[in-house]
């Protein structure tokens, strides 16, 4: 009989492109993933992986097994969710991925109370960027994912995922206290065309939004420094090295050497959504987590 855990590992290899990347995503060692795939090959009686250069790729048999096996895994997941619903119990183990500010501003305040209320529930948390989170939930490697999308910057979500919007977050421009704009109540992108920015790396959703915000100005933002974490942005702004666009969700308390200025035309707004697979829609555990996050987002200070 086909080992379902090994099937999940094979699917992770296809999703992430290598045994090492699949191991990192699943929290196993590459050796453990290789052993699971070998066991699956023995059970199936056919080769599932083949070497290409220094890497591997799925054979035709491997791709067919992943395609058909994914439907089987979804059916089993739906069956399990229905059983839990009928039992009326919030229990089991859920894996949840979230971007960094959601982890700080939403997940951390919610999880302890949620686990205290439901002692049979186990949550495993991972910090991931939104695009990675979508892939991980879609491929079954995470059960829930919190993602964000800015304005009209698209975030493609596969049809077999369900999205529940839980919050709308706003970002402000953060400037040094002695900055020429520090006394303004609001600014537009046209007021910022000469400024030096501290930004997230190229290719991130927040960087894409900063670029899109400049549409119509005839200019592109001048990126002086790059840092992944918004806490680093705040420190660099406080040192007088530039300005930054930082969301309110999960934002650390501001020091006395920086000032927030609201932005308009457009207002930098992001939608925050919880994703899960449609096969888990009947799961009481999934529903409890989504409800708790929705309630927490209503209490969080996302607009000020």
Spatial distance between the Cα atoms of 244 and 263, rounded to a whole number of angstroms? 12
Q: Compute φ and ψ for 145, nearest 5 degrees.
A: -145, 140
- Domain co-membership, 231 together with 175: yes
Instruction: Tell me what pLDDT residue 81 has.
Output: 63
Contact 274, 163 (CB under 8 A): yes
Span 253-264, pLDDT tens digits: 999 999 999 999
- Domain co-membership, 288 together with 246: no
Statement: residue 66 has pLDDT above 60: yes
Q: Which domain holds residue 71?
A: 4-80
Spatial distance between the Cα atoms of 223 and 244, rounded to a whole number of angstroms? 10
Contact 293, 98 (CB under 8 A): no
* DSSP for residue 12: H
Torsion of CA 264, 266, 269, 275, to 10 degrees: 170
Total domains present in the chain: 3
Span 223-277, pLDDT tens digits: 999 999 999 999 999 999 999 999 999 999 999 999 999 999 999 999 999 999 9
Q: Mean per-residue pLDDT for 5-16?
A: 83
Spatial distance between the Cα atoms of 31 and 70, rounded to a whole number of angstroms? 23
Instruction: Tell me what pLDDT residue 279 has.
Output: 87
Q: Which residues contact 153 (CB under 8 A, 6 or more apart)?
A: 205, 208, 209, 212
- Domain co-membership, 151 together with 282: yes
- Domain co-membership, 95 together with 158: yes
The verdict on residue 304 lying in a domain is: no
Q: Mean per-residue pLDDT for 80-89?
A: 63
Tally of CA atoms within 13 A in the half-sphere of 236 that contains its CB: 22
- Domain co-membership, 179 together with 264: yes
Whole-model pTM: value is 0.76
Instruction: Tell me what pLDDT residue 77 has.
Output: 67
Q: Mean per-residue pLDDT for 199-212?
A: 93
- Domain co-membership, 183 together with 120: no
Q: Which residue would you say has higher pLDDT here, 86 or 165?
A: 165
- Domain co-membership, 151 together with 195: no
Spatial distance between the Cα atoms of 272 and 106, rounded to a whole number of angstroms? 11
The verdict on residue 225 lying in a domain is: yes
Place 304 in a pLDDT band, splitting at 50, 70 and 90: very low
The verdict on residue 130 lying in a domain is: yes
Nearest partner of 271 among 127, 166, 154, 134, judged by Cα = 166
Statement: residue 183 has pLDDT above 70: yes
Q: Which of 31-40, 117-126, 167-176, 290-299 is the most confident on average?
A: 167-176
Statement: residue 180 has pLDDT above 90: yes
> What is the SS3 string spanning 230-278?
HHHHHHHHHCCCCEEEEECCCCCCCCCCEEEEEECCCCCEEEEEEEEEH
Spatial distance between the Cα atoms of 146 and 276, rounded to a whole number of angstroms? 9
Q: Mean per-residue pLDDT for 43-63?
A: 85
Instruction: Give the total residue count for the chain.
Output: 304
- Domain co-membership, 263 together with 274: no
Instruction: Tell me what pLDDT residue 303 has.
Output: 46
Q: Name the average pLDDT for the chain.
A: 89
Span 145-158, pLDDT tens digits: 999 999 878 888 99
Instruction: Tell me what pLDDT residue 80 has.
Output: 67
Q: Is 225 helix (H, G, I), strand (E, B) or coil?
A: strand
Spatial distance between the Cα atoms of 61 and 2, rounded to a whole number of angstroms? 14
Q: Is 175 helix (H, G, I), strand (E, B) or coil?
A: strand
The verdict on residue 237 lying in a domain is: yes
Place 87 in a pLDDT band, splitting at 50, 70 and 90: low
- Domain co-membership, 290 together with 155: yes
Instruction: Measure the N-to-C terminal CA separation of the chain; round to a whole number of Å.
Output: 57
């Amino acid at each position: 009989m086909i080992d379902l855990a090994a099937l999940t590992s094979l699917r992770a290899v296809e999703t992430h492109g290598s045994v090492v990347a699949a191991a990192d995503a699943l929290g196993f060692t590459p050796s453990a993933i290789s052993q699971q795939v070998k066991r699956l090959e023995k059970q199936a009686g056919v080769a599932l992986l083949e070497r290409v250069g220094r890497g591997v790729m799925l054979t035709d048999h491997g791709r067919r097994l992943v395609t058909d096996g994914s439907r089987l895994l979804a059916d089993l997941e739906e069956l399990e969710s229905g059983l839990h619903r009928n039992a009326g119990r919030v229990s089991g183990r859920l894996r949840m991925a979230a971007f960094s500010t959601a982890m700080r501003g939403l997940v951390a305040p919610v999880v302890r109370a949620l686990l205290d209320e439901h002692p049979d529930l186990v949550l495993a948390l991972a910090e991931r960027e939104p695009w990675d989170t979508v892939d991980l939930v879609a491929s079954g490697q995470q059960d829930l994912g919190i993602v964000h999308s800015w304005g009209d910057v698209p975030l493609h979500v596969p049809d077999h995922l369900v999205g529940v919007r839980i919050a709308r977050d706003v970002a402000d421009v953060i400037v040094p206290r002695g900055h020429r704009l520090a006394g303004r109540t609001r600014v537009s992108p046209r007021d910022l065309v000469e400024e030096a920015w501290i930004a997230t790396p190229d290719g991130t959703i927040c960087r894409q939004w900063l670029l899109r915000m400049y549409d119509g100005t005839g200019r592109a933002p001048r990126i002086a420094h790059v840092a992944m974490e918004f806490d680093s942005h705040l420190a660099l702004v406080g040192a007088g090295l530039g300005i930054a666009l930082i969301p309110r969700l999960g934002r650390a308390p501001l020091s006395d050497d920086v000032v927030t200025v609201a932005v308009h035309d457009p207002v930098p707004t992001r939608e925050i959504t919880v994703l899960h697979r449609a096969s888990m829609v009947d799961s009481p555990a999934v529903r409890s987590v989504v409800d708790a996050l929705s309630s927490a987002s209503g209490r969080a200070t996302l607009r000020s």
